[in-house]
Each structure stands twice: as C-alpha cells, then as structure tokens.
Amino acid sequence: MKKRYAFLLAAVLVLSTLMGCSKDSNSANTADKGGRPAETVKIKYLVPGTEPKDYKEVFQKVNGKLAADGVGVEVEKIYIPWDAWDQKLNLMLSTGEDFDLFHVMQDRTPFSSYYNRGALANISDAIEKYGKNLKKSIPHDIFDGAKIDGKYYAVPSYWVEMASEGQFNIRRDILRENNLKEPTTPAELISAWEIVMKNWKGSNKPYLGTRSDFDPIYLHTSILHRTYDTFPFTVKDKFFYVNQSGEVKSWIETEEFKKDASFMRELYTKGITNPDILVMKQEQVDAQLDSGEWFVRLGTGGSLNGLKKYNPKATVDDIGVVWFNPEKEYLRPLTFKNGNAVPVNSKHPEAAVKFMDWMLASQENYDLAQYGIEGKHYTKDGEKGFKPIRDPENNNNSRYRGSDSQNGNVNFMRFDLENSIPDNNKVLFEPNPKAINSIAANFVFDPTKVRTEYTNILSEASASITPIYMGVQEYGKAFPAALEKMRKAGLDKVVAEYRKQFKEYQASQK
C-alpha cells in the first residue's frame, strides 16, 4: 500500500508540473480567499508620463495584494512619454497591439473619439459583475457620462469638481514682491505679467506654462470666457461652440475664438509665452512649473516644494485661485475629466475592470497604488492627509507617486497637508453647489457619416489653426487662409452633422 501511495503521489506531482509548464506566460496559479485555485491574468495598463523611480517595487506589492485578495489579476503599467502619448497610443490601437487598459483624458481626446473609431470594448457586463466598488464610489450621474447607447465604454475617475474649469492659479508672493494687486480682468493680468517678467529674479523667465493646441478646454484658456457677454458656453470636441440655449456653432468662426486668439497674440508679442511655444514638449512645461519659476498657471497645480525653489520663504497660502467675474455661473463642460477604457482587442476586459474595482475596495488598496509603501514613500497624516518621504536625489520628490487624475477618487484621496494648496483643494475637491452642467456635457458625437472630413479637419487644424490660437500668427493676417483650408477639409459638413445630432440628442432628453 505504501508503494502504491508513493507511486500515485509521484504521478500527481508529475502531472501538476506538466500542467504548470503548459500555462501561458501571462498566467499563473494562485488561490482565492477560500483556498480554491484561481488563474491570475496579467494585464497591461498604458498611462502617459514618466515611470516613477520605485514603480517596480510598489507594483510588486500591488500584485502581491491582488493575489492575497484572490482577485486573479496581475498589473503591469506601461509609461509612455507625454509628447509621444497620442501618436503611440493611436498606433497601438490601430495595429491591435496587446494591452488591456489605457488612460483617457476627456479634455484632450474624449473616450467617444476612441469609441467612434471602433477602438473600445463594451465593459457593461464586466462592471455589472465586478464593479461593485466602482458603482459605490463614483456618483451615478458621473458614471452615466461614460455610457453610449446605454452601455459603458469607460470608467470615470471621480477625482475633481469639473466646475473648476474657468479659473487660474496666481502667485501671491510674486504679487507682493512687485507691489501688484490681484488682476480682475485679462488686461490687468497681462499688465501685471509684464511687470513680473521685467523684474524676475530667477534664472528662467516665468512664461505661461503650456503646450500648444487650439482647444480652450484642454489649454484652460476658458478662463477668458467668463469675461464674454455670451457666457456660459463651452467648446465640445475641439470644434463646436455650444451655449446653454442649445445653439451650436463652428468654434473657430466665433467672435469668442477671435478674442481668445487676440489675448494669446498679446501674450506672445510681449514675450509672456515661450518663443518656442509651438514645439514645447510636456516634459519641458512640467520642468518649468516644477522649478517654481512661474507667475500664472492656467488650471490648477503647484506645491510648496516647487514654490520654495524660487522663494524659500513661500507658504501654501502663496498660491491663490482667481476667477474673472466670480459672480457669474460656474459651468461643468464635461461630466468627468479623466478616466480609463479597455481597448476592443483586449483579451482580458473583465480583469481590467477587476483591477479598477479592487483599487476602490479599501483605503489600504488605494493608498498602496497611489502613494506607495507606507514608511518608505509616505507616512499618514491624520485621516485624509499624508506626508511624502522626499529623496534629495529625486529632485526632492518621493520615489513613488501614483496619479489622482488617472484613477483617483475623492472618497479615498489623501492630501499633503503641509505642501498642498488650500485654495486649490477647495476648488478641485469640494462640490460646488452653484455649478451647472453644460447641456452638452454628456452628448457624444458620432462622426461615422463624416469620418473622412473629421479626420481631415483635425489634421488641418493642428497645422493651420493652432499657430493662430497660440498667438504666434496674427489672426487678421492668417485666419482667412486657414479658414479656407478648414472648409476645403470638410469643416462645414462636420459642423452640420454635429448640429443635427445634437438637436436629436436634445429632443431625446425631453
């Protein structure tokens, strides 16, 4: 009997070894909480930016926790430099390259754009089965913004109050240094900026920190729109002006576009924007902002750590939030700003949803993925605070930090209470009871019928419209020829189709 038992045990061991060797390289065996064997699926998650120094160490811990929790998912993050993001992602989508999750920036390329190219997987069933924590932690109206024809094609990141669109940051310490008051109009802003540029004591000029584009929502030149009599309105999908009365216009043909371009032209001719603005890479913009050598920042950002590089005496109260015409309504141009989507070629869409849901299953999971290893990358500071552990050899930053904008959630987010900016925290992370949604916030344009023209105007606008909008070319001289090129590319046909679909959308909402 002993010999027979030994023989059977050996056979079982041999069989187990053979089965283990036959598994796909992206799979492994683990056990769930009940001790039952489960297959671990490895997914690839594409994000823009630079890989943190200790990413591999942190995600080894993340994957260990995923295994211990029986999720059956292992995650590999793939970082793509900002300046190569759009081109690389589009190439990977078009060639059907093997990956399972990617970041979406609604103010840059909305998820509907990927959907209209047939690039997104329908993840409704996966969310229904495995998205309990997602549905619990993301408000219903925001989650619904990721639907097309009643089906989910993205998971929103509920990390920001979208009514923050339309404001900008200003350095109060720089205002005091130059005996200046906070500007209340675009003209006052330019005047103050000229004085600051002239008196700047740093090694690099405090240029407007941004890359070039022609979309005011992406650039945050929407700060100007509050000064126009036609506000509130928004610019959807780069090309379409939509006001709260439901009027749709070609954005580049509006007086508002002309006024924006005039403002940017003044910045450029007065040396307030970088002379190389049209070729600036995001990494260059980030380096300037991180150095603390800035005066005004469209959108929000900055930290005490950055400010002190220029002004060692700076405090967290030295960044203020400015709204032109603050008495006006606050508009949410989009239901959500960022999110994540599963490409249609993913072999593991359910695993991608499982990972996103796991992040919101507990504060412990969220902290690990976003802030790293406690005691090495951060320490907790009260219930919602944290202190990053800084490395002098890493520009005095922590060696690991996730991204709130990529997959943050206000229910779990922690704040650097010593270094984050109180005014920004209030604007970004607290609900604004005075805010209203754009009537086009959840509208999804389907360019199928004008696909060729839509592709053509995107390309033509990058070449012809962006230099005008960024102020490098004078509107009066360059715009007529640029508009003619846009019309030849199919602008009128695309706007007509957009207007038709938007009217149908409005009718469906009644």
Give me the pLDDT at residue 32, please.
46
Are the beta carbons of 300 and 169 closer than 8 angstroms?
Answer: yes
At which of 346, 371, 396 does a domain end?
371
Q: Which of 414, 379, 377, 412 is nearest to 397 (CA)?
A: 377
d(CA 186, CA 35): 64
d(CA 469, CA 477): 13
Half-sphere exposure of 448 (CA within 13 A, CB side): 7
Give me the pLDDT at residue 43, please.
98
Residue 447 lies in a domain: no
The token duo for 447 is 């360019």
The pLDDT tens digits for 197-231 are 999 998 899 999 998 999 999 899 999 999 999 99
Label residues 389-415 b or e (16+ Cβ within 10 Å = b): beeeeeeebbbbbbbbebbbbbebbbb
Give me the pLDDT at residue 235, please.
96
Residues of the chain with pLDDT under 50: 1-37
Q: Which of 464, 83, 468, 472 is nearest to 275 (CA)?
A: 472
Are the beta carbons of 293 and 310 closer than 8 angstroms?
Answer: yes
SS3 for 360-410 is CCCHHHHHHHHHCCECCCEEEECCCEEEECCEHHHCCECCCCCCHHHHCCC
Same domain, 261 and 315: yes
Same domain, 32 and 83: yes
d(CA 226, CA 327): 10
Rg (the chain; Cα; Å): 25
d(CA 333, CA 233): 8
At which of 272, 305, 332 does a domain end?
332
Q: Has this prediction a pTM greater than 0.85?
A: no
d(CA 244, CA 232): 7
User: What is the domain count for the chain?
Assistant: 2
- Listed in sequence order, the DSSP H helices in 77-171 are 85-94, 111-116, 124-130, 132-137, 140-143
**Enclosing H/E stretch for 148:** strand 147-148
Please give the C-alpha separations between residue 283 and each of 33, 83, 209, 280, 307, in angstroms, as whole numbers: 43, 8, 11, 8, 18
Same domain, 185 and 324: yes
Q: What is the DSSP string of 238-303?
A: TTEEEETT--EEEGGGSHHHHHHHHHHHHHHHTT-S-TTGGG--HHHHHHHHHTT--SEEEBS---
Same domain, 128 and 208: no
Are the beta carbons of 428 and 398 closer than 8 angstroms?
Answer: no
Same domain, 45 and 152: yes
Residue 363 lies in a domain: yes
Give me the pLDDT at residue 305, please.
81
Residue 269 lies in a domain: yes
d(CA 487, CA 494): 10
Same domain, 121 and 194: no
Same domain, 182 and 306: yes
Residue 354 lies in a domain: yes
Instruction: Give the CATH number of the domain where residue 66 resides.
Output: 3.40.190.10
Residue 228 DSSP code: S
**Enclosing H/E stretch for 343:** none
Give me the pLDDT at residue 500, please.
97
Range of the domain at 85: 23-160+337-371
Residue 187 lies in a domain: yes
Same domain, 194 and 99: no
Q: Would you call 3 helix, strand, or coil by DSSP?
A: helix
Same domain, 132 and 206: no
**Enclosing H/E stretch for 506:** helix 491-508
Same domain, 321 and 355: no
At which of 332, 357, 382 does a domain end?
332
Residue 457 lies in a domain: no
Are the beta carbons of 214 and 239 closer than 8 angstroms?
Answer: no
Residue 174 lies in a domain: yes
Same domain, 176 and 298: yes
How far from chain centre, in Å, is Cα 194? 31
Q: Which residues pair with 155 in a beta bridge?
A: 340
The token duo for 348 is 């593991």
Residue 481: left (phi > 0), alpha (psi -120 to 50), or beta? alpha
d(CA 467, CA 270): 16
Give me the pLDDT at residue 283, please.
86
Same domain, 197 and 282: yes
Residue 396 lies in a domain: no
